[in-house]
Amino acid sequence: MKSFFTYFVIFFVVFFIPLNADIQIDTSQIKNYIVKKEFYTQGKNRFMIFRSYTYKENSYFLLINLDSLKTSIISNTQKEKLKKSGKSILSNSNYSKLVAKVFKNSSILSNAGINKSLHKKKNEIYLTIDMCPSSKKGYEKELFEEYLKSTEINKKIPISIAITYRWVKDHKKEFFSLIHNENLDITWINHSKNHYYNPIEKLSKNFMLNSKTNLREEVIEVEKLLILNNLTPSILFRLPGLISNQKLINSLVYEFSLIPLGTNNWLVKSDKEVSNGDIILIHGNLNEKEGVEKLINNQPNINRFKSIYNSLLTDK
């Protein structure tokens, strides 16, 4: 009888405890979240700390390698091993080159920022998947759980997911599945907290250009959500609707140290086939199935998907 009871408890835990049990959305647990710019070196590596915060009474820092563009979270002890430096280390870094590239088309209304690969590398394409708020249950299961499967042992498929707080809040089970998908190597892109949209408003006053937008909240709450769930935010920001103006771009770059990422192949709106160097945009929230179907029907070789950082690195 004891053995039966033990097995029953295990069965109940495995099959009846909801998968969203481990997803954290109460970002107030992260305290003293500060936007900053501090510069450090370690050997030949150049870094910028652009956020600091406390969690469970411990101090942490979000930093970017100014050349590899990859972000990481370090403790206060790890920070103390870095050598303090000045703003001059930005000079000629891949990060500073990206910033310069952003401002070459920062005033356009649609698709500002980095909207194409900086180098068209043979057999490389970069898949970005937007998870905007959606009232539909579930996500693109065929995409995430069937199509995006590695055919090589111990090799994960690199993709980027532009995430919104509101989608996670309403889809905890699906978010849990994404972050525990062993087939995927995910770069997390900030896609805003609320992703405001009103179909009757003109674009110049819509999305994040709405007068009621609280930019700090839209940016910071997504970063805190990712950190709270043991994920590392990238420096990339995908503008809702790809809509912006010069003021918004300036704030994202200068105030928050983020790089707006657009696309040169939004599959549901594009007539072109998938080709080398494409920054592909599809939606994984069931709101734009045509784009997902187009990708799957096109059947690009899974091995062509590469990390978005490959597209953004300016040094060959």
pLDDT 10s digits, 181-216: 999 999 999 999 999 999 999 999 999 999 999 999
Distance CA 211, CA 255 (A): 19
Q: What is the dihedral of CA 207, 246, 106, 291, to 10 degrees?
A: 0
Distance CA 112, CA 304 (A): 26
pLDDT at 253 over 50: yes
Q: What is the pLDDT of residue 21?
A: 56
Could you report the per-residue pLDDT of 53-70, keeping only the tens digit for each?
999 999 999 999 999 999
Tokens matching residue 44: 């030949």
Q: Count CB-CB contacts under 10 A for residue 210.
A: 14
Q: Could you tell me the CA-to-CA distances from 225 to 18, 89, 137, 315 in Å, in that order?
A: 20, 30, 21, 32
Could you report the per-residue pLDDT of 128-161, keeping only the tens digit for each?
999 999 999 999 999 999 999 877 767 899 999 9
With bands split at pLDDT 50, 70 and 90, how would you rate the model's confidence at 19? very low
Q: Could you tell me the CA-to-CA distances from 275 to 153, 192, 279, 304 in Å, in that order?
A: 26, 29, 9, 10
pLDDT at 94 over 80: yes
Distance CA 135, CA 287 (A): 9
Distance CA 112, CA 261 (A): 8
